Amino acid sequence: MLPAPVVQYDRIAITLHWLMAALVIGLFFLGIYMVQLDYYDPWYHDAPDLHKAIAIIFLGLLCGRLGWRLLRSYPAPFGRPWERGLARFVHGSHYLLMIIIGISGYLLPTAKGAGVDVFGFFTVPSLLSLSSRQSDLAGLVHRQASWVLMALVALHVLAAFKHHLIDRDPTLLRMIGKGDRK
């Protein structure tokens, strides 16, 4: 049985959206920063460790968000049919790319059997060593998918502002918790 349609996102969906948006953007820029460091930079080892630990937390949140989305009803998009179709495609692509980036990111440090330490609280073990080129292939997928995701994030942000400023519909407002609660 499907949940009843709603006009407003709930607090959990809104919180997960903005928390994960901040993490996606933060992880992207941290990734760009850390690959430019030289061996003698103090952040040479710390930045990748921070990136990996935050990314594991992000993957946990992604699983929670996917589960929440499957269990809960969410508002129908506004706009013309082609805009609604594009919105579904972009949202689906966001999820797919986040999964691809997460898996490829996991396969990078675990290629040689090392686990991923998460701030000293626990370690995610290395479960897969697929090939001698695993790290190279995973790195390529991780990097390219990250750039595609950021392009789609930019499109997503532009669409939200277009809905808010040009169409004057409550698309953006309901994702900040200010939309119609009827």
Please write the tens of the pLDDT for every residue from 44-77: 999 999 999 999 999 999 999 999 999 988 888 8
pTM: 0.90
Q: What is the CA angle 32-92-59, rounded to 5? A: 50
Least confident of 82-86, 99-103, 131-135: 131-135
User: What DSSP assignment string belongs to 141-177?
Assistant: HHHHHHHHHHHHHHHHHHHHHHIIIII--SHHHHHTT
User: Quick one: how far is CA 91 from the chain centroid?
Assistant: 11
The answer, yes or no, to whether residue 182 has pLDDT greater than 50, is: no
Kindly list the structural domains of the chain, giving each domain's residue range(s) and its CATH number in brackets, ordered by start.
11-172 (1.20.950)
Dump pLDDT digits (tens) for 86-101.
Answer: 999 999 999 999 999 9
Half-sphere exposure of 144 (CA within 13 A, CB side): 6
